[in-house]
């Protein structure tokens, strides 16, 4: 069993945590969204020193990675004092950096990352691995004037990339090269009896307007443009909130942004409940077989919530909710009359 080590904010003291609620401990990773650990602990004679180290901005060192306590609830009942902790991976502290300068033009992912960190590394290092040359240059307008995390999220979207943090070292790879194809299948009546697809049309829209930058004389560089999806023939006109972004001075770039931002398809996510522990890795493609709905395909793991302190408790797995994969599954569900 891996030890949990608590380190104070000043990084002058650290100690192994004991007497915490092992059943409460979990690690949760969701691709490009979150990576956190959480647990509950009550102060005892054995852990009183370590308990006092648990505070906002203190570090939790777990499985070779550093997490920073960002949310904590302290409570007391009689003589008993306890804390409930949520600690986010140190990668997310990158949002504390800000790049004010902007760049425009055709840029590679390396050029944009260099631009971000030109304002200061904040202790982070980075590399781009693209052996198959999947990354292309992308036309950028006024890239900058935002915190580091927001700018990296723009890069992940524009270049279809995934960032893999290892403490403060960031590796960027094409999404298509993330994860391995494995034969450790998820199959109905084998290691799961429960498959759940959440499908809703709350956010389904078919039309969106884009408004770019104004000149000094208060006229626009280009007239506001409206993009209407071909899906409007099926769903009618449903208007999404407009994009108002002063980074855009070229209408063609705004058009591409609108096509990317418009959610003209139902929101779909899939989860499975497993019967026993498997060892999926982040981004792995696993055979997903569910005979009642005639689903047989490789599908990517984009989220894992695991409970490493509870022997043999299976992880909760989130399956790919990319448009390509889930649209195909939606078609299968419709064919079966499920929706």
From the CB of residue 114, how many other CB atoms can be counted at a distance below 10 Å? Answer: 13
What's the pLDDT at 275? 67
**Six token digits for residue 329:** 């599954």
User: Mean pLDDT in the chain?
Assistant: 88
Supply the pLDDT for residue 329. Answer: 61
| pTM (2 d.p.) | 0.77
129-154 residue pLDDT tens? 998 888 988 889 899 999 999 999 99
pLDDT digits (tens, 9 = 90+) for 94-119: 999 999 999 999 999 999 999 999 99
Torsion angles phi and psi, residue 104, rounded to 5: -135, 150
**HEC readout, 198-250:** EEECCCCCCEEEEECCECCCCCECCCCEEEECCCHHHHCCCECCCEECCCCCC
- The pLDDT tens digits for 50-91 are 999 999 999 999 999 999 999 999 999 888 999 999 999 999
DSSP-derived secondary structure for 11-39: SS-EEE--SEEEEEEEEEEETTTEEEEEE
pLDDT for res 208: 97
Answer whether 204's CB lies under 8 Å from 263's CB.
yes
Question: Residue 54, Cα to own-chain centre: how many angstroms?
Answer: 26
Torsion of CA 195, 291, 329, 301, to 10 degrees: 50
């Amino acid at each position: 069993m891996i030890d949990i080590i608590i380190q104070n904010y000043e990084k002058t003291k650290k100690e192994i945590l004991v007497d915490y609620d092992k059943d409460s401990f979990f690690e949760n990773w969701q691709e490009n969204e979150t990576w956190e650990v959480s647990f509950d602990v009550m102060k005892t004679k054995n852990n009183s020193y370590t308990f006092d180290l648990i505070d906002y901005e203190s570090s939790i060192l777990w499985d070779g990675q550093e997490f920073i306590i960002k949310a904590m609830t302290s409570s007391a009942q009689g003589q008993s004092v306890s804390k409930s902790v949520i600690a986010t991976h140190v990668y997310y502290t990158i949002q504390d950096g800000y790049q004010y300068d902007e760049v425009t033009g055709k840029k590679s992912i390396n050029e944009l990352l260099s631009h971000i960190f030109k304002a200061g590394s904040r202790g982070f290092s980075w590399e781009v691995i693209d052996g198959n040359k999947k990354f292309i240059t992308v036309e950028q307008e006024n890239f900058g004037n935002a915190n580091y995390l927001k700018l990296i999220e723009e890069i992940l979207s524009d270049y279809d990339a995934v960032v893999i943090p290892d403490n403060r070292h960031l590796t960027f790879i094409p999404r298509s090269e993330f994860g391995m194809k494995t034969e450790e299948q998820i199959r109905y009546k084998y290691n799961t009896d429960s498959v759940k697809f959440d499908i809703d049309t709350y956010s389904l829209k078919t039309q969106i307007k884009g408004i770019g930058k104004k000149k000094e004389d208060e006229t626009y560089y280009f007239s506001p443009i409206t993009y209407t999806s071909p899906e409007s023939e099926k769903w009618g006109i449903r208007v999404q909130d407009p994009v108002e972004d002063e980074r855009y001075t070229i209408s063609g770039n705004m058009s591409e942004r609108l096509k990317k931002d418009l959610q003209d398809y139902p929101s779909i996510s899939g989860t499975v409940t497993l019967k026993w522990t498997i060892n999926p890795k982040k981004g792995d493609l696993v055979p997903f077989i569910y005979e009642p709905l005639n689903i047989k395909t490789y599908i990517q793991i984009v989220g894992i919530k695991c409970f490493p302190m509870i022997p043999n408790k299976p992880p909760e797995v989130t399956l790919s909710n990319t448009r390509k994969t889930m649209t195909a599954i939606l078609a299968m569900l419709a064919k079966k009359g499920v929706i």
